[in-house]
Every structure is written in C-alpha cells, then in structure tokens.
C-alpha cells in the first residue's frame, strides 16, 4: 500500500467509533475500534520510517527533537477540548459538536491535504539529495 493510502485508512477507520453514538453497545464499540487498533500501529511505523527517510542524516536529531517538543506541547489541548465540548449546554449538542469538529478537521483535512496528496513515494526519496555540504 502507498503511504497516502495507509494514512487515509487510519483517518477514516476512526469514524467507526461514532457508530457507538448511534447504537450504544459494547459489541458495536468493539467492532468499530478493532480496525483502528490494527491500522494505528501500522501508520505509526510508516510515518516514523518515512520521516526518517526524508530527513538528511545530519538533521535527524534536530527534527526528532522539534517533533517531540511540538507533540508534548499540544498534548494538553486534547483533554481541554474534550472538557469544553462536554460542558455544552445541551446533551444533544455534545455529540454533534464533537463529531463535526473531528470529522471536518482530521478526516477531510487529511484527505484533502496537498502534503499528503503529493508526498513522494519511498522510491522517489532515493533520488533526493540526502547530504548537504556544511557551511564554511
């Protein structure tokens, strides 16, 4: 599978979890979460490998440091957003607000993102220059 297909598969398998809102059953939740549980580790390994393959050797430490800092800085925003959506005035508004936010930003944004659409394959990465001469 292409990297784009793997990324989109993870993005769209998460929508199965919203079936639980329509039919609240432990069996529905289990059936909806299993595909995501299979695709998430695959996507993580592909994304890490792709990022390392794209990064020049001399910058791998810096790139990973920046990525780690950004992910740790935005981690508290998830619980904050969940708390704000749970404090919605109406019980009916909570799932609709959350589902609209999640569906619009992550699924459609990831699908239509030009960086994902136009990302070079691993074969094309071999043609890119991997080393840069040091500045003098």
> pTM of the prediction?
0.60
Query: Residue 66 — very low, low, confident or very high, per pLDDT cuts 50/70/90?
Result: very high
Q: Could you identify the residue written with the tokens 């580790």?
A: 41
Question: Are 26 and 18 a contacting pair, CB within 8 Å?
Answer: no
Q: Is the pLDDT of residue 68 over 60?
A: yes
Q: How far apart are CA 134 and CA 57, in angstroms?
A: 12
Q: How far apart are CA 79 and CA 81, in angstroms?
A: 5
Query: Residue 136 — very low, low, confident or very high, per pLDDT cuts 50/70/90?
Result: very low
Per DSSP (E only), the strands in the chain are none
As a whole number, the mean pLDDT across the chain is: 77
Q: Is the pLDDT of residue 27 over 60?
A: yes
Neighbours of 14 (CB within 10 A): 18
């Amino acid at each position: 599978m292409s990297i784009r297909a793997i990324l989109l598969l993870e993005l769209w398998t998460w929508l199965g979890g919203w079936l639980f809102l329509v039919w609240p059953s432990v069996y529905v939740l289990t059936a909806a979460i299993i595909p995501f549980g299979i695709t998430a580790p695959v996507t993580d390994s592909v994304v890490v490998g792709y990022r390392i393959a794209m990064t020049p050797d001399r910058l791998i430490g810096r790139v990973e440091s920046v990525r780690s800092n950004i992910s740790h800085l935005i981690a508290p925003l998830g619980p904050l957003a969940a708390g704000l959506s749970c404090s919605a005035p109406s019980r009916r508004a909570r799932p609709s607000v959350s589902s609209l936010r999640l569906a619009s930003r992550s699924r459609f944004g990831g699908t239509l993102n030009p960086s994902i659409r136009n990302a070079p394959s691993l074969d094309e990465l071999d043609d890119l220059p991997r080393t840069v001469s040091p500045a003098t």
